[in-house]
Structure 1
Amino acid sequence: MTNPALGCLGVALAVIFFGTTYVPAKQYPTYDGMVFQWYMCSGILAVGLVWGLVSNEWSFIAEKGMFMFPGGLLGGCLFAIANLLIPTVVNTLGLGVGFMLWNGANITMGYVVSRYGLFGVTPTIPASPRISELGILFMIGSILVYGKIQPKLTTSEPAIMELEEADGEQKPLLDKVSPASSTSSALELDASALRRESLAQSLMHPELPNYGPFTIPNERKEIPEDGQDEKKRRAVGIALALFVGCLLGNSLTPYVLWQQTCNAAGKDCNPLNFLFSQCMGIYITSTVAFLLYSTMHRIQKTRMPRSALRPAYVSGLLWATGLAGQLLSAGNLGFDLVYPLTAIGPAMVSMLWSAVYFKEIEGRRNMCILAAGTSMIVIGTALRVYAS
């Protein structure tokens, strides 16, 4: 039986904790996005394990011990792959355009899956479809508004050092950025560059900082030397960004299918029973990627840079708590109503952290844009609730 109060609590948890995920790591050098995300996924798995052990609600599923739903493993795998691709999207397309494309595709895909019943999901038709679609447009429009904010560039992370064992010489893999104050929006920052590289090189940057799908990092991208390569890279970047958005938008589709089957069987369908499986899917995929990455370093005889362990682990704990809230809200309020809000809401919280705590967003113009984007999310949410 659904509980609207629990659903609202779940939405609040998802929006706040997803949006706060990278706050503990904000002031620490991550050095290497691939290493950072593996530490973070270890924190995610810890939350899934603790909940599975504490809840002890497995008697109707398995004879003993915790049970892993195959759908949860798949959903976690989809999210982990999307998260691993984000640094490449940022480097090939630019952080501003990339952020807008993958979040827009994420919201759109989540809505289309639930509204039109893709992949076996039972379609959910709102009482006022036009108003519901208008609410979605307001949410997507808020991404465009946020993209016009002019963040203040902070000092970049220390250079990642590539250790060449042949001659013992250390060479920076990424050049260091001097502190600067930017007067460019996230979209305009796409034109700045640290060094030039080929199209093939631009697609291989797992070592870049990974700030996840809800945060616009204060980092610059690199542009290729050849103009033709730039066109190809933008095409690849757009395709990757849309692919990332589609993966994110379908990461909870296995959960929705499980819930439909569970409800049809008349079982007690606690949404949080799915948490352990989803976390395990994320961890397994992340670990496989990390092992491949470390093997690549081994073959190339280079040493992997260290990363901030504790901040990354805490970020994982926060993210998994947000996932628990997202599952709880989807189970009690419906995936169609909840998902768009839990997809764009964290970006709003992340922006507020940047403005209020880190002071990266300053000035009357930026504050007006921030207020406008936030208002659009609120209006979009109100329209969606009214339409339902």
Structure 2
Amino acid sequence: MTSWRMHVLFSLNILCTMVAANGESDLDASAFDVELPWPLSGEVLGYIGCVVAAVLYGSQYIPLKKVETGDGMFFQWVNCLAIWLVGFLGNQILHSPAVHPLAMLGGAIWATGNITAISIIKSVGLGLGVLLWGSTGLLMGWASSRFGWFGIGTQEVSRPVLNYCGAALCLFSLCMFLCVKSNIEPQIRHRMSQIPEASPLLIDRRLNPDYCDDSGAWLDSISPKSKRLLGCSLAVIAGIFYGFTFVPLLYIKHQALVNGSMFAGASQNDLDYCFAQYNGIFLTSTLYFLIYCVAMKNKPCLYPRAVLPAFLSGIMWGLATYSWFMANTYLNTIITFPIVTAGYSLVAAMWGSVVFKEVRGLANCLVFILAAAVVLTGTVLTALSKM
């Protein structure tokens, strides 16, 4: 696809997002003076939103691969600040109505899981880390939507068998990635090789009282097996939080249809809840960062070189979430959750294995290719279950 076509497609995506926020969900390509080879129906827009979200989510940590981030707390706060700015600008453009403060809880849930992201990537690598929390989030998000957990109401599809098979294949493929051994040691040696020989081996704290040790260095002091176990455990925990991010939003939308409910009359458009979600993310991350500063006795580990990469990562996440919420406007979360989570997990795995060489060896590559084929099959079945 040529670059100008990609720009046209992206512009249509953003424009349709703005129109959808005003409740015009039956948008067609005839509304534009652009000749397209296929009718741009609501479902097509939903799948486009899923693809955009998957690519951006899977690529959001790329700017940080060559930058030291320490324990990740400073990165978390800068990242969430950028997310909030994206939400603020989006809210000014879309003029979304005020929503109930409960919608902010989804952002708080996401921010709680996200504080472990840097430690996970340092422990098991980008590809495996994202795959693990993606698989857990897929299971939690799909199950809560399909079976109506937490009072959010069940979501039906026209072909439930295909939906079950698609979700199962996505989950199975992501479990297959557990058999792929990640190789992150070369990155550690690369960072060590960049230290000048003239640098002092020890730093006298009496001469530099504000010096902060690398709070993430403790990961390098534990055995590889313990590091892998810790990283995998944190990834599963993070995935549980990520999987329940949409629960408050879906609960409000479900209760809005109940007469006499405190949420009666609330918007049914997911895009109207984006800014509230981003507010919850920024407030929660700020609270965690303040607690971290207190725990560090007002000597937090700050990494100036990580500011711009963390900010760029936050912008990518913010745009990805707007695309995902747009997809939810045309498709149910029971459709979008398996597609987006499996999609961004696959994208992250591609970055980690192909670009950063986290996957090496013929056996690892074969397992990776097989798992990629399975996850693509699962996403296709999930998409077909809506038709």
Contact 2:99–2:266 (8 Å) recurs in 1: no
Aligned partner (choices 160, 174, 177) of residue 143 of structure 1 = 174
Q: Deviations over 1:326-380 (max 9, x none)?
A: 1111121111111122122111111222344444445554443332122111111
Structure 2 residue aligned with 1:306: 303
Aligned partner (choices 220, 226, 251) of residue 194 of structure 1 = 220
Unaligned 5+ segments in structure 1 are 59-66, 178-192, 198-219, 224-232
**Inter-CA distance 132–71: structure 2 relative to 1 (3 Å threshold):** same
Contact 2:131–2:346 (8 Å) recurs in 1: no
* In 2: Cα distance, 1:151 partner to 1:381 partner: 24
Aligned partner (choices 93, 104, 110) of residue 141 of structure 2 = 110
Structure 2 residue aligned with 1:327: 325
**Inter-CA distance 249–130: structure 2 relative to 1 (3 Å threshold):** same
What's the offset of the Cα at 1:321? 0.7
**Inter-CA distance 164–276: structure 2 relative to 1 (3 Å threshold):** farther
Unaligned 5+ segments in structure 2 are 1-24, 27-41, 196-200, 259-263
SS of 1:7's partner is helix
What's the offset of the Cα at 1:306? 1.7
SS of 1:273's partner is helix
Counterpart check, 1:134 vs 2:162: no
Aligned 1:18-37 pairs, distance under 5 A: 18-37=57-76
Contact 2:53–2:340 (8 Å) recurs in 1: yes
**Inter-CA distance 94–311: structure 2 relative to 1 (3 Å threshold):** closer
Q: Deviations over 1:19-44 (max 9, x none)?
A: 11111222222234110111111110
TM-score for the superposition, normalised by structure 1: 0.72
* In 2: Cα distance, 1:123 partner to 1:196 partner: 44
* In 2: Cα distance, 1:95 partner to 1:155 partner: 12
Counterpart check, 1:41 vs 2:80: yes
Contact 1:96–1:147 (8 Å) recurs in 2: no
What's the offset of the Cα at 1:194? 3.4
Q: Deviations over 1:238-293 (max 9, x none)?
A: 87655433221110112223333557767764322211111111111000000111
* In 2: Cα distance, 1:37 partner to 1:53 partner: 24
Counterpart check, 1:253 vs 2:208: no
SS of 2:153's partner is coil
Q: Which has the higher helix share?
A: 2
**Inter-CA distance 354–242: structure 2 relative to 1 (3 Å threshold):** closer
Contact 1:11–1:342 (8 Å) recurs in 2: yes
Contact 1:102–1:245 (8 Å) recurs in 2: yes
* In 2: Cα distance, 1:331 partner to 1:347 partner: 23
**Inter-CA distance 238–36: structure 2 relative to 1 (3 Å threshold):** closer
What's the offset of the Cα at 1:100? 5.9
* In 2: Cα distance, 1:28 partner to 1:94 partner: 14
Structure 2 residue aligned with 1:155: 187
SS of 1:104's partner is helix
* In 2: Cα distance, 1:353 partner to 1:309 partner: 22
Counterpart check, 1:82 vs 2:121: no
SS of 2:351's partner is helix
Letter in structure 2 aligned against 1:194: D
**Inter-CA distance 43–303: structure 2 relative to 1 (3 Å threshold):** closer
* In 1: Cα distance, 2:266 partner to 2:96 partner: 12
Contact 1:163–1:171 (8 Å) recurs in 2: no
Aligned 1:156-171 pairs, distance under 5 A: 156=188, 157=191, 165=205
- Identity level (%): 25
SS of 1:278's partner is helix
* In 1: Cα distance, 2:309 partner to 2:127 partner: 25
**Inter-CA distance 326–263: structure 2 relative to 1 (3 Å threshold):** farther
**Inter-CA distance 338–253: structure 2 relative to 1 (3 Å threshold):** same
* In 2: Cα distance, 1:263 partner to 1:88 partner: 42
**Inter-CA distance 92–10: structure 2 relative to 1 (3 Å threshold):** closer
Aligned residues: 330
Contact 2:147–2:154 (8 Å) recurs in 1: yes
SS of 1:81's partner is helix
Structure 1 residue aligned with 2:10: none
Aligned partner (choices 87, 91, 100) of residue 69 of structure 1 = 100
TM-score for the superposition, normalised by structure 2: 0.73
* In 2: Cα distance, 1:303 partner to 1:244 partner: 23
